[in-house]
């Protein structure tokens, strides 16, 4: 399958914890390196697949490890990319199902919503009421307007 119509997204997932997602103009080594370097501590055990996007950035971390998906390797001991792939799967299903038409200029908003849901999921101790309360608190003082007032 080609890349036509696909948008470049970089997601950083801390295993068993939270996610941060970024829409980038292109998924190239420079953009990925900047996001990773700005958002990940050097002491991190940095796990990736074999993509060339990570070769330069991975060397800067305490214990960079890769799994080789093209060789059908998806885990080697505790080295895996399952957390980020699980999040990516949730995002893709949501974008193909509930949100079928998303203008690129609004993609960062959709990513923020999916990040919020993932970061406040039941597995992290949040229930539906707490999640709703946090969402309502976050909108106080904000308005989404298509045009700025004159």
pLDDT digits (tens, 9 = 90+) for 9-62: 999 999 999 999 999 999 899 999 999 999 999 998 999 999 988 877 877 888
pLDDT digits (tens, 9 = 90+) for 68-109: 999 999 999 999 999 999 999 999 999 888 877 788 888 999
In a domain, 2, yes or no: no
CA distance 99 to 103: 10
pLDDT digits (tens, 9 = 90+) for 109-149: 999 999 999 999 999 999 999 999 999 999 898 887 777 77
DSSP-derived secondary structure for 41-92: -TTS--EEES-GGGHHHHTTSSS-EEE-GGGT--EETTEE-HHHHHHHHHHH
Q: Which CATH number goes with the domain that contains 100?
A: 3.30.420
In a domain, 147, yes or no: no
Indicate the pTM of the whole model.
Answer: 0.85
CA atoms within 13 A on the CB side of 129: 0
In a domain, 3, yes or no: no
CB 44: neighbour CB atoms within 10 A? 16
In a domain, 13, yes or no: yes
CA distance 112 to 9: 12
In a domain, 148, yes or no: no
In a domain, 22, yes or no: yes
In a domain, 150, yes or no: no
Which residues form the domain of 89?
8-139
Q: How many domains does the chain have?
A: 1
């Amino acid at each position: 399958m080609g890349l036509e119509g696909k948008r470049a997204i970089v997601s950083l997932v801390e295993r068993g914890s939270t996610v941060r997602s970024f829409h980038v103009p292109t998924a190239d080594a420079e953009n990925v390196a900047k996001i990773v370097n700005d958002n990940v501590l050097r002491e991190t055990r940095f796990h990736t697949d074999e993509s060339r996007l990570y070769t330069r950035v991975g060397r800067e971390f305490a214990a960079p490890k890769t799994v080789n998906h093209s060789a059908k390797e998806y885990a080697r001991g505790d080295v895996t990319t399952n957390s980020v792939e699980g999040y990516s799967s949730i995002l893709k299903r949501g974008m193909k199902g509930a949100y079928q038409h998303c203008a690129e200029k609004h993609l960062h908003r959709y990513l923020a919503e999916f990040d919020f849901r993932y970061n406040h999921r039941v597995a992290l101790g949040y229930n539906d009421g707490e999640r709703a309360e946090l969402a309502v608190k976050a909108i106080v003082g904000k308005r989404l307007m298509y045009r700025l007032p004159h």
